[in-house]
Amino acid sequence: MSAKIWALVMTALAAIYLVLLGQKAILLILDNNWVAKAMGLALLVLPIVAAWAILTEVKFGIDAERLAKTNSLPELQLELRPSGRATKESAQVEFERIKALVSQDLENWELWFRLGECYDASGDRKLARKSIRKAIKLANNSKSL
């Protein structure tokens, strides 16, 4: 639950920052100096890109959490360290097991989601996010049929 609160707080702070940055950009655009106008236009692009990135990440988090709640597969069998992170050996064993299952059924969003969890347990966040995005896409496609 604390991760949700932190995400909400950081999103709110980013939104305030974007509004203030947008106001400065508009003030610069309204200035008579053409250099100030150019800087204002450049500054206006930053809040738009940042807002898009924030919305994309928030949507990813909501979709991933929704899939985590509806996933009917059993939890991964990971041996945990005192810190709560998985040991490399147990993460590797689960990764190989889930990877073999995914290769047999490439359209199963639940397996892709578990593969993402395996990547995360192994410390590969980039591939974890990619696998979970694939799971989200497959889950959305299966609902639209």
Between 64 and 47, where is the model more confident? 64
Does 47 reside within a domain? yes
H-helix or E-strand spanning residue 134: helix 125-144
pLDDT above 50: residue 145: no
Please indicate, yes or no, whether residues 96 and 124 belong to a single structural domain of this protein.
Answer: yes
Instruction: Calculate the average pLDDT of the chain.
Output: 87
Strand boundaries in the chain, DSSP class E: none
- Separation in Å, CA 45 to CA 25, 28, 42, 50, 118: 9, 13, 5, 9, 37
Domain that includes residue 93, residue range: 88-144
Average pLDDT over residues 120-135: 92
Q: Closest by alpha carbon to 6, among 57, 47, 72, 69?
A: 57
Whether residue 120 contacts residue 94, with contact meaning beta carbons closer than 8 Å, is answered with no
Q: Closest by alpha carbon to 86, among 130, 128, 56, 45?
A: 128
CATH number at residue 121: 1.25.40.10
Does 80 reside within a domain? no
pLDDT at 26: 92
Say what the pTM is: 0.75
pLDDT above 50: residue 141: yes
pLDDT at 1: 58
Q: How many structural domains comprise the chain?
A: 2
- Separation in Å, CA 4 to CA 9, 67, 102, 143: 9, 16, 30, 26
